[in-house]
Amino acid sequence: MRHFSHFAAIDWSGARGPRQRGIALAVASGTAAPMLVRPGHIWSRAEILDWLEDIAGSEADMLIGFDFSAAFAFEDRGAYFPGWPDSPCDLPGLWALVERLTAADPHFEVATFLAHAEARRHFRHGRGDVGDLFEPGAGRLRVVEHHQRATRQAASVSNFNLVGAAQVGKASLAGMRLLHRLRSRVPLWPLDPVPAAGPLLVEIYTGLAARAAGVPSGRSKIRDGIALDAALAALASPPVAHIGPISDHAADALLTAAWLRAFAGKRALWSPAPLTESLARTEGWTFGII
């Protein structure tokens, strides 16, 4: 079983603009309390890429979780975008397509992709703006999302849905641009084999960390330092000793870094029964869903 010395969690954002208050980055090292990287800093997505490239260059023994989806549904239709000749056949191809169509968009934004005549057909863009190929109802889900709903481990929203507070489609598309740049630098589980040393990326769902810490379902957002320390204690983590209000993004990153440290050693999380080689290549998997 691979051992890691450091555990990082990135709370990501798909918001427009050069910097996003919704981004937070925390690292849990050894047995110490998790710590925010550059606390109080308003991150840009480019700065997160720079940080990840520095980690790759240092060959740090680090497990890094990001809270966006690495892919769209593929297994249900045998394609990410059925009927579109340019629809790719695997994760790296998907990331490359998104990057190619958004190359002129600044700050890892994705407006040009979503405006593309073929791409926009698959998304719900607004309450009165729904692509003709958006699946009626909730929209298409990946196998991991169907599984976590069926087992009540989580309640994901389709990445093809761009409407509402729970939507993660835009953040995921922005994240795909990040993954495209990291493709030759940092491996991603389960697409790539777990390396014997160095950093490894995994997709995470911060709600899993909150549940594991005993935070009641439906109230997973922590905005108080005392509540955060109580949740960390449930994960056998030292407190951050933060008194007073804290942003939910910072709390998510801190708690999830501690959760990764507490759960990364559990073999079952690395071999979920529904995960196949085909899914690893096309849809990926959310670490912690079994």
**120 occurs within a structural domain:** yes
Q: What is the mean pLDDT of the chain?
A: 96
Residue 287 confidence (pLDDT): 98
- Mean pLDDT value across residues 227-235: 96
Q: Are residues 51 and 112 in the same domain?
A: no
Split into its structural domains, the chain has a count of 2
For residue 75, being part of any structural domain is answered with: no
Q: What is the pLDDT of residues 84-99, one digit of tens each?
A: 999 999 999 999 999 9
Residue 248: give the domain boundaries: 6-69+185-270
CA-CA distances (angstroms) from residue 100 to 104, 155, 177?
9, 31, 9
DSSP per-residue string spanning 133-192 = TSPSTT----HHHHHHHHTTS-----TTB--STT--HHHHHHHHHHHHHHTTTS-BTTTS
Could you report the per-residue pLDDT of 46-65, keeping only the tens digit for each? 999 999 999 999 999 999 99
173 and 192 fall within a common domain? no
Look at residue 245 and tell me if it is in a domain.
yes
Same domain, residue pair 169 and 210: no
The whole-number pLDDT of residue 202 equals 98
Backbone φ/ψ region at 270: left (φ over 0), alpha (ψ -120 to 50), beta:
alpha
pLDDT at 173: 98
Q: Indicate whether 290 belongs to any domain.
A: no
Show which of 160, 181, 202 is a domain's final residue: 181
Residue 74: inside a domain: no
pLDDT score for 219: 66
Tell me whether residue 281 is in a domain: no
138 with 108, same domain: the answer is yes
Answer yes or no: do 125 and 255 share one domain: no
Q: pTM for the full model? A: 0.96
Q: Does the pLDDT at position 243 exceed 80?
A: no
Residues 223 and 235 in one domain: yes
* Lowest mean pLDDT segment, chosen from 126-130, 148-152, 170-174, 217-221: 217-221
Check whether residue 27 and residue 45 sit in a common domain.
Answer: yes
Task: Give the neighbor-by-neighbor strand order of the sheet with 62-66.
Answer: 35-36, 24-29, 6-11, 62-66, 200-203
CA distances from 178 to 44, 183, 281 (A): 12, 9, 18
Count of helices and strands (H, E) across the chain: 9, 7
Residue 220, pLDDT > 90, answer no
| Radius of gyration in angstroms for the set of CA atoms belonging to the chain, rounded to a whole number | 18
Whether 221 has a pLDDT exceeding 90, the answer reads no
| Domain match, 245 and 265 both | yes
pLDDT digits (tens, 9 = 90+) for 145-191: 999 999 999 888 999 999 988 889 999 999 999 999 999 999 999 99
Report the percentage of the chain scoring pLDDT > 90: 92
Q: Are residues 170 and 105 in the same domain?
A: yes
Do 106 and 164 share a domain, yes or no? Answer: yes
Mean of the pLDDT values across residues 60-78? Answer: 98
Same domain, 65 and 124: no
Is residue 167 in some structural domain? Answer: yes
Distance (Å, whole) CA 180 – CA 174: 10
At 155 the pLDDT is: 86
CA distance 67 to 167: 12
Is 202 within the bounds of a domain? yes
- Pick the last residue of a domain from 181, 208, 235: 181
Backbone angles phi, psi at 15, to 5 degrees: -65, 155
Strand, coil or helix: what is 27?
Answer: strand
- Separation between Cα atoms, residue 269 and residue 90, nearest integer Å: 23
**What pLDDT does residue 258 have?**
98
Q: Which residues contact 210 (CB under 8 A, 6 or more apart)?
A: 220, 222, 231, 252, 255
65 backbone dihedrals φ, ψ, rounded to 5°: -105, 140
Indicate if 176 and 201 belong to the same structural domain.
no
Do 139 and 160 meet the contact criterion of CB atoms below 8 Å apart? Answer: yes
Domain boundary among 148, 181, 214: 181
